Amino acid sequence: GSGGGPAMAQPEEPQPAAVPSCPLPSKICDVVRSERPRSCCGMAMAGFRTAKYQVPEWHRRNAGVYYKAFTASEEAERGRAESQHLMKHAAASAQRAQDYSKTTLGQRLQDIHFWRVELQKEIMELDAETNLLAAQKLRLERALDATEVPYSVVVDNLECRDRRQPPDLVIDEVERQLLKEADLIRDIRDLLKRTIIQATTQIRSNRIQKENCELDWSDKVETYHIDDKCVSYRTDSTNVQFHPSSVKFEENASTPKSWAQFSHDNISGAEQEKLASVQLRSLINSIIHDASEDLRMQRAAVNEAFDSRCRELDDAKLRLEQHLEQILKDIASEEANIVNLKNSIRDKEAHLKVAQTRLFDRSFRPNVELCRDEPQFRLISEVEELTVLLEALKRKLMESEQNLKNLEETRMKLEKEIAVKANSLFIDRHKCMGYRVRYPVDLEVASYQ
């Protein structure tokens, strides 16, 4: 036979036809019976005659059998040829489909690998950034701790200066600068506390975002292993089997676009947190530097005010001591003057007694001898003169005694003022300035210790 049916069209990608399962039809086999009437008379010869075919009929029958055999053979040959062609086509299509699937899986592996590497890089960078921010937060906490000593120093200075005595208990430049310093330290402490809270919040955000990226990364690693295993499967693999139920899409499955967008969003979120973290670290640096500089300048201003005030107190105390020295000299002079006045009064009183005794004795002269003579006038004049002198001396003595009293009061006031100044100097120079030596020089340095 010639064989070979019509050439089959070869589609690019054969689509498997959905064939409904149904039982095959049962073949009905009928025996062809001769329609010729059979002899029933039982005669042998007649039976032989009637049961045989005629020669033309025999030839026709043979021809029919030959034709059927030829047709069956030709049909079978055409079927075999079609089967061969279909098998070749099926083999090529199956191989091509498997290769295409393998190629797409390979591309998918590259995509997964790309995002996995990006996520891993982002995780490491975000982890490193979080560690840097944690170090900055530690600096803030150390700087906050370092402000406790300056604050206690300022409070102690203010309390010590409250113990100055009333004349010196003034709101001077030192007081104003100390109050300004106390306010500055309180503001710095509040700012550091707020920044610590901000850093803590940022660290938490960084860790949440890192966790999101790590979950995505671990899913990518797992998926990469699955797809890598899928790429390695071949037709001769021993671990492949039928899974009819797997030929479907899950309802919650992502699309390539949403899949890529998910990782992109995770990386973008991580980048945003990283940028915010970098900016916060820069801000923390500035805050610590500025706070340290402000504190250093204010400390210098307070120390300058203390120096200036101590110089003023020294000058005032020196002037008071000079005045006291003069007053003490005046007191000594006044006391000597009083002694001299008293001696002078006693001397004049002796003279007065002589003159008055003379007058008294002369008053006993008899009769005409009681004469207003020159000695009598002289003695009366002497008594009057001495009386005036004594009164003047006594008045001067009273004035001198009052002056001495005033000088003594002034001396006491001056000594009290000098004691007040000495107390103020002791408080400012020894108590306050001595205690301020403990003041840390630099918050920035303290933040690293």
* Segment 380-410, tens digit of pLDDT: 998 999 999 999 999 999 999 999 999 999 9
Is there a contact between 154 and 188 (Cβ–Cβ < 8 Å)? no
Low-confidence ranges of the chain (pLDDT < 50): 1-20, 22, 24, 27-29, 31, 34, 39, 41
Helix (H) or strand (E) run with residue 69 in it: helix 55-146
Q: What is the pLDDT of residue 38?
A: 53
Q: What is the pLDDT of residue 49?
A: 57
Q: What is the pLDDT of residue 337?
A: 92
CATH of domain 314-448: 1.10.287
Rounded CA-CA distance 73/80 in Å is 10
Q: What is the pLDDT of residue 242?
A: 83
Angle at 272 between CA 197 and CA 136, to 5 degrees: 40
Q: What is the pLDDT of residue 163?
A: 86
- pLDDT per residue over 346-367, tens digit each? 998 898 899 989 888 888 889 8
* Contacting residues for 351 by C-beta, under 8 A, at least 6 apart: 382, 386
Helix (H) or strand (E) run with residue 92 in it: helix 55-146
